[in-house]
Amino acid sequence: MDEPSVVNVTEQKDLTPAEILRVGLNCKFLKLGNNMPAADQITLKFTRLSEHAFPPVKGSEKAAGFDLKSAYDYTVPAHGKGLIKTDLQIELPSGCYGRVAPRSGLAVKNFIDVGAGVIDEDYRGNVGVVLFNHSDQDFIVRKGDRIAQLICEKIYYPVLEEVTSLSETKRSDGGFGSTGTQ
């Protein structure tokens, strides 16, 4: 193999994503994103469906997700659920799905959780967020409130194969706390 196994990426600022992947598989830390050339950056495209929509925003430079905001006022009843519209359409990067995840502050302070949190790569409808209210009080959502976060995650599309048996493992079919009994 005539290619070097170690490349100093601080001296190689013009690496393509494929070269970074090839070189970086054995790296513990690899800074991507805004330091990449503009042509190689991964882009999450969005459009506003109404004047009520707010663009997704990151809470900090290193935040895992983009905060999603409510386009309208809602009341999520105590021990109930509500579908909160963002009035955003998104186009996820190729090979990714969108995970709609809870915001930790809403979960801790208000007992609010997010359900049905997967946006398929080919979905182009209005992004809605299902909020579950586990508290004894109605939860008021105001237009512009941050209600969830959108995280772009890599996805694989495996070929499905039905078999007569699966490989054996030490764990086997133990579940629901079975690994904590030893």
- Is position 150 within any domain? yes
Give the closest residue to 90 by CA, choosing from 45, 29, 35, 153: 45
Q: Which domain holds residue 26?
A: 1-41
Q: Are residues 99 and 144 in the same domain?
A: yes
The pLDDT value given to residue 26: 43
Dihedral pair phi/psi, residue 162, rounded to 5°: -85, 130
Same domain membership, residue 99 and residue 80 = yes
**pLDDT-derived band of residue 3, with 50, 70 and 90 as boundaries?**
very low
What pLDDT score does 31 carry?
42
**pLDDT tens, 72-113?**
999 999 999 999 999 999 999 999 999 999 999 999 999 999
146 beta partners: 69
Is residue 168 situated within a structural domain? Answer: no
User: Do 94 and 129 fall within a single domain?
Assistant: yes
Q: Which helix (H) or strand (E) holds 49?
A: none
Residue 28 sits in the same domain as residue 59: no
Q: Is residue 30 part of a domain?
A: yes
CB proximity list for 111: less than 8 A, separation 6 or greater: 133, 134, 135
Q: How far is CA 167 from the centre of its chain?
A: 31
Q: Residues 118, 84: one domain?
A: yes
Same domain for 25 and 60, yes or no, is no
Exposed, middle or buried, 5 (CB in 10 Å: 0-12/13-18/19+)?
exposed
pLDDT (0 to 100) of residue 16: 60
Residue 180 lies in a domain: no
166 inside domain: no
**CATH code, domain carrying 144:** 2.70.40.10
Angle at the Cα of 86 from the Cα atoms of 144 and 128, rounded to 5 degrees:
135
Residues 6+ apart with CB under 8 A from 23: 7, 9, 15
Interior angle at CA 79, CA 75 and CA 85, nearest 5: 35
> For the segment 129-170, what is each residue's pLDDT rounded down to a tens digit?
999 999 999 999 999 999 999 999 999 999 999 999 999 988
Q: Determine, yes or no, domain membership for 159.
A: no
Task: Tell me, yes or no, whether 17 and 53 share the same domain.
Answer: no
Asked whether residue 164 is domain-assigned, the answer is no
Q: What is d(CA 62, CA 74) in angstroms, rounded to the nearest whole number?
A: 30
Q: Is the pTM of this model over 0.85?
A: no
Same domain, 53 and 132: yes
